[in-house]
Structure 1
Amino acid sequence: MSDPVGNIRHCFTPLAAYIVDTPEACMLACVRGKTCPFTLASFFAACADFQLNGVFAPFWKGWRFSDPAIFLTLEALYHWHKQFYDHNIQWCLVVLGAVEFDFRILILQPITGYHHFSNGISKLKQVMGRVHRDIQCYIVGLIAGAAPSPSPDDSVLTSINRSLTIFHDNKDAIMTLGARMGTKRAIDNWHIPKLELMQSITASISQVSALIQWSTDATEHAHISEIKEPAWRTNNNNYNPHICHHLD
C-alpha cells in the first residue's frame, strides 16, 4: 500500500477472528481428537501425547498478534445450538424416554412462528439451526418435573457464568441416570469439546464483542444457494462447466 508520501509499504492485517466450526477450529489450532482448540493450541512439540496433530508450522505462526485462543471465536450455530441438540436433548431423551418426550412435544398447542413437532423429535434427521432454536423455546416446559430450571438474573455475562457453574455442580446427575450414552455403552467422561468451549463465552464476548456477529449461518446457507440449487439445474453431466456458468 502507498503511505501518505507515496512510498510503497508491505502491510499486514491483524487476524482478529476466524469463523469456523469445531473440526476446522481444531485443524487450525493443530490439535486433534476430542480436544479444546483454545487451551492446547501452543504445545506443538508434545504432539500425540497431548492430543496435537503434529503440524509445526500453521499458517498463522509468526503472524503478529495472532493467537488461536483469541481469534478462534465461538460460533452460535455449532457451539450453542448444535451442542444443545447433540448433547442436552439426548440427555433429556434418555431421562424421559423417547416416547414420553415425543408425546409431550407433539401435544403442545401450535404457536404461530414456531415449528410444531407433530411427530416428536427423537427421529428427526438433518436438523438445522432454526429447529434447534424452536426446540429450545419448549425444552424447559417439556422436562418439567424431571430437571430443575433456574432463572437467570439481569446481568447477562454473570448469568452465563452462573448457569455454567450450576451445570457443572449438578452434572453428576446425568451420569447417575445413565443419560451419557454412546452408540453401544454408557460414557464415563465429559470429553466434549463443545462443552468446554462454553467456558470461553464470556471471555470471548469481552475480547471480540457480541458473538452473534461471528455466525456461520450465511456461509452454511451458501451450501444451498451456491452449490445445491445450481446442481439441481444441471443434467448431472459435465457438472463443472454447468455450475461455473450458473455462478457466472
Structure 2
Amino acid sequence: MLKDHLIHECLSIILQPLMKAAELGIMMSDPVGNIHHCFTPLAAYIVDTPEACMLTCFGDNFYHPARTHEITLEQLASIDVDPNNLEGFFAACAEFQLNGGWLLSDPAIFLTPEALHHWHKQFYNHDMQWCLAVLGVPEFDFQFSILQPITGYHHFPNRISKLKQVTGRVHCDIQHYISPEPDDNLLTSIDRSLTLFHDNKEVIMTLGAWMGAKRVIDNWHIPKLELMQSITTSTCQVGALIQWSADATEHVHVSEIKDPA
C-alpha cells in the first residue's frame, strides 16, 4: 500500500506541469508560428497491466463506463455535506473517486488496451491454458504437430505445451492457428466475440479448465480480461491501439538495465 502511494505521489510531482497545462492552459505555437492558448489533457499512458491496475485502483471483474460530466454532476448532487465544510466535503467526494488531480483526464480513456499484455499474454496465459486443460496435453501437442507447414507461419512439430523462453513473437505465432482472423468489420467482430465469450464462459469452469497452480479457480478476476472490454471504445477515441503497445518500453529493460548490469 505504501509503495503504491509513493508511486502516485511521485507521478503527481513529476507531472505537475502537465496537470497545470490541462487546468490553466499553456501558450504553444503551431507549425507556422502562430501562438495559441492550448489545453493538454492526458490522451494515453503506456504502462504494464500491474501498474495500470494500481493507478486505477482496480478491484473488480467488470468494465466501468467512462466518467462523463453527467455522472460527475449526479454524484456531486448526491453528496449531502455542506461544501463550506471543506474537510468533510472532500472526504465525501473521495468515496465517489471525485478527488482526481488531473483535469479532463479519465483512466477509462488514457489507459488504452495494450497489445503485448492484454492480447498476446492474455491469450498465452489463459486462452491457451484452457485449451490444454480441455483437450489434454498429448492431444493438443499432437494436433499442432500434424498441421501442414505454411510459408510465413511458424510450424510447431514438437511439443508446444512445454515451450521455454516464450516471447511475444511466439505468442503471435500460436495465435495464428487458434485465434480467428477479423474481417473488415473489425470492431463489430471484436464486440461480438467478447459477448459470445462472456455468454458461455461458465462452460470453462464446468469443464474444470480454469486452473491455478494447485486447484480450480472459481472466479473471473482477470485484469487483462476486463481491460479487453475497452478495445472498441479506445480505438474510436485514440486511434489504432498498436501504437500504444509496450513492446518498445519492454525492450528498454534489456538495453538500459539488463545489458549494463
Q: TM-score, normalised by structure 2?
A: 0.68
Preserved CA contact (<8 Å) 1:26 1:35? no
RMSD over aligned CA atoms reads 3.4
Q: Is the 8 A contact 1:37 1:69 kept in 2?
A: no
Asked if residue 79 in structure 1 is aligned to residue 118 in structure 2, the reply is yes
Amino acid at match of 1:99: P
Q: Tell me, which stretches of 5 or more residues in structure 1 are unaligned?
A: 5-9, 141-148, 232-248
From 40, 43, 55, the equivalent of 1:16 is 43
Using the alignment, how far apart are the partners of 2:253 and 2:125 within structure 1?
21
Partner of 1:26: 53
Aligned length: 208
- Aligned-pair identity in percent equals 71
1:43-72 Cα deviation digits (max 9, x unpaired): 9979xxx9xxxx997xxx322211111111
Q: Are 1:163 and 2:186 an aligned pair?
A: no
Show the counterpart of 1:108. 147
Higher relative contact order (CA 8 A, sep 6+): 2
Q: Does 1:137 align with 2:164?
A: no
* C-alpha distance after superposition, 1:124-156 (max 9, x if no partner): 23322111110011126xxxxxxxx7x856411
What is the aligned counterpart of 2:246 among 203, 216, 222? Answer: 216
CA distance in 2, matches of 1:160, 1:25: 22
Indicate how the Cα distance of structure 1 residues 81 and 18 shifts in structure 2: closer, same or farther if over 3 A, else same: same
SS at match of 1:102: helix
* Inter-partner Cα distance in structure 2 for 1:45 and 1:116: 58
Q: Do structure 1's residue 67 and structure 2's residue 94 form an aligned pair?
A: no
2:208 corresponds in structure 1 to 178
Q: Which runs of 5+ in 2 are unaligned?
A: 1-25, 30-36, 76-89
Partners of 1:111 and 1:161 lie apart in 2 by 30
Q: Which moved more, 1:169-178 or 1:20-29?
A: 169-178
Deviation at 1:74, TM superposition (A): 0.7
Quote how far apart the aligned CAs of 1:38 are.
Answer: 5.5
Aligned to 1:243: none
Instruction: State the shift of 1:211 in Å.
Output: 0.6
Contact 1:81 1:132 (8 Å CA) reproduced: yes
Seen in structure 2, the aligned counterparts of structure 1 residues 159 and 37 have a Cα distance that, compared at 3 Å, is closer
Alpha-carbon spacing, 1:193–1:45, altered in 2? closer, same or farther (3 Å): farther
User: How far apart, CA to CA, are the structure 2 residues paired with 1:72 and 1:108?
Assistant: 38
What CA deviation, in whole Å up to 9, does each residue of 1:197-235 have, x standing for no partner? 22111111111111111111111122223333344xxxx
The CA distance in 1 between the partners of 2:28 and 2:143, in whole Å, is 66
Instruction: Measure how far apart 1:112 and its partner are.
Output: 3.8
| TM-score normalised per structure 1 | 0.71
